[in-house]
Amino acid sequence: MSTKKRNCWEFMKCQREPGGAKAAEKGVCVAAMDSSYGGINDGKNAGRICWAVAGTCCGGEVQGTFAEKRDSCTSCSFYRLVQEEEDTSNTGLKLFNYFSEDEKKFLASKVSCKIVAAGERFITQGDVQQTAYIIQRGACLLIVEKGGQLHPVGHLGRGDIIGIRSFLTGEPQSAHAEAETTMELWALDKNLFDNISKEDPELLEFLTELVASRFDSRRPTADRVIGKYMATDIIGRGGYSIVYRGFNTDLNMPVAIKMLRHNLAMDPDFINGFRNEAKTIAGLKHENILRIYDIEERFSTVFIIEELVEGESLEDMLRRLKRIPPKLSISFLIQLCSGLQYAHQKGIIHRDINSSNIFVQPNDRLKILDFGLSCLIGTEDFASFGTMAYMAPEQIQSEPMDQRTDIYALGITAFEMLAGERPFPETDPQKLIDLHLNCGIPDPADVVPDIPEILRQFIVKACRQDPAQRYQTVAQALDDLRPLADKLGIAGKRPTDEKINMTSLFIVYNENKQPAVEQLMQNLRAQAEELGIDLKAADLSDL
């Protein structure tokens, strides 16, 4: 049975943790408030690596930065305790736990030994490493340099490997590595690594998962150059991707950059599906569907360049507000129906409509996200991927799906908006399957007595178990919802209402400038395409 690992305030008994006896009088220690180190050292927060946090309180005194307090911190009894615990940790992410004793001996005969002094920087952010290091003794901090400041973002000890990212992805290092104490390292060069990886594919898979886990840091991240894009900060995480805020360096245009996790990029089927998402949405141009601008394949993975939107997911909005008022709910449903009707007219069904895949902008305008599971209506792809709480019976049973599958999920989402909970709040997958297949949803009026009758009827009909009894198209659902929207004074665009603007541009030039003008037009067309703009050109030489 494992022993609970203590945080610094539990060990030092300073009583300045949240709710501590001295917190009200002297303030909560910053180590107790910094939650961004979650996962490091298996601790829940910075209380496991308090020495990396500036301004902590220790011995009754407020401390400075790690560089300023290094000597006192690394001689502290709590620091030594953490090192001992981590050196003997059985965490699956330590490289030495992967090898047998014979393999360790073989590896030791092939690598060179390197001694690093306390305070020495042995990996530099931005370098492409030809050497990775396995820690035999001591510990180090990973430090991101950003905006002229140094941000400690991680801590590694005995059995961990450092610098492997360049080996696997070819990408420059994302952080400095700086010794906390004197370190003994095994230096592993890239040629040896490549040879070992060829003989042991499972090692390559293990290290790829390790690199993928390190991309998930909650601390500041180094800026990353991805083709003509710059990724600056992580703004979202999902089971298969990480989303960065970024910008197009040519146009200085803000974008979102969705990166497929490296461990999943090793799966050919998964990476093809990720590419399919980009290709599918790239052809969809609707105000309620997130735009796709570009796709980049670099660093052993795929990046989808998307429209950057500000706001929150509907899931987060529900968590904050508990319920969405009927007037706002009907506005949301009109927008969702508008976006889905457009996609269905293009022959595409989403297959994963749910509150986490709906984004609410500050002006209450919606964007439908994540068409990664989408497929063409009428294809033979009957896979039951999706989010179980929203899945229609035919989707669960891997039967043919069409637009009515999306309508079912939309009905579940509408119930959730108005009631503050899904009709089947069960979390056990098998029980959820049984409820979707064998039980009709509860009457929304039983949960929300003041629900407008039109909304109640919409939810009940959209969530019929038999697809033949649901709305057959989103247009039918819109016909039922619009009278209530009109009554509540909600303006909603009809599909034919979308306004198209046109701007004329004349380029007047001498004939000897023709090659330069052709190059200019090529660049302009490429940039217009990224913005979703159709560029038309005509030869008006007689002017």
pLDDT of amino acid 41: 38
Distance CA 330, CA 250 (A): 40
- Tell me the per-residue pLDDT of 74-87, one tens digit each, with 9 for 90 and over: 888 888 888 777 76
More confident residue, 532 or 408: 408
Q: For the chain, give me the number of helices (H) and strands (E)?
A: 20, 21
pLDDT of amino acid 94: 66
**Lowest model confidence (mean pLDDT) among 104-108, 419-423, 446-450, 500-504:** 500-504
Edge-to-edge strand ranges of the sheet holding 366-368: 312-313, 358-360, 366-368
Give the confidence band of 91 by pLDDT, cuts at 50, 70, 90. low
CA 127 to chain centre: 25
Mean pLDDT of 410-414: 97
Mean pLDDT of 15-37: 80
- Tell the CATH topology of 224-307: Phosphorylase Kinase; domain 1 (3.30.200)
The first and second tokens of residue 21, run together, are 């006896």
pLDDT at 93 over 70: no
Mean pLDDT of 53-64: 81
More confident residue, 13 or 500: 13
Percent of all residues in the chain with a pLDDT value above 90, rounded to a whole number: 34
The first and second tokens of residue 60, run together, are 């009754």
pLDDT of amino acid 415: 97
DSSP 163-230: SHHHHHH-PPPSSEEEESS-EEEEEEEHHHHHHHHHH-HHHHHHHHHHHHHHTT-SS----EEETTEE
More confident residue, 54 or 245: 245
CATH of region 312-497: 1.10.510.10
pLDDT at 277 over 90: no
More confident residue, 415 or 501: 415
Query: HEC states along 379-403?
Result: CCCCCCCCCHHHCCHHHHCCCCCCH
Is residue 351 a contact partner of residue 405, using CB atoms and an 8 Å limit? yes
pLDDT of amino acid 491: 64
pTM over 0.75: no
Distance from the first to the final alpha carbon of the chain: 86
More confident residue, 1 or 346: 346
**Lowest model confidence (mean pLDDT) among 52-61, 338-347, 419-428:** 52-61
* Sequence ranges of the domains in the chain: 8-87, 95-214, 224-307, 312-497, 500-543
- Tell me the per-residue pLDDT of 475-527, one tens digit each, with 9 for 90 and over: 999 999 999 999 888 865 544 444 455 666 667 777 666 667 666 766 676 56
- Mean pLDDT, all residues of the chain: 82
Mean pLDDT of 442-457: 94
pLDDT at 49 over 80: no
Give the confidence band of 36 by pLDDT, cuts at 50, 70, 90. low
Report helix, strand or coil for 114. strand
Is residue 410 a contact partner of residue 382, using CB atoms and an 8 Å limit? no
Q: Do the domains 224-307 and 312-497 sit in the same CATH topology, yes or no?
A: no
pLDDT of amino acid 53: 79
Give the confidence band of 367 by pLDDT, cuts at 50, 70, 90. very high
Listed residue (437, 234, 413) closest to 314, CA to CA: 413
* Cβ neighbours, 10 Å, residue 287: 14
Superfamily of chain region 95-214: Jelly Rolls (2.60.120.10)
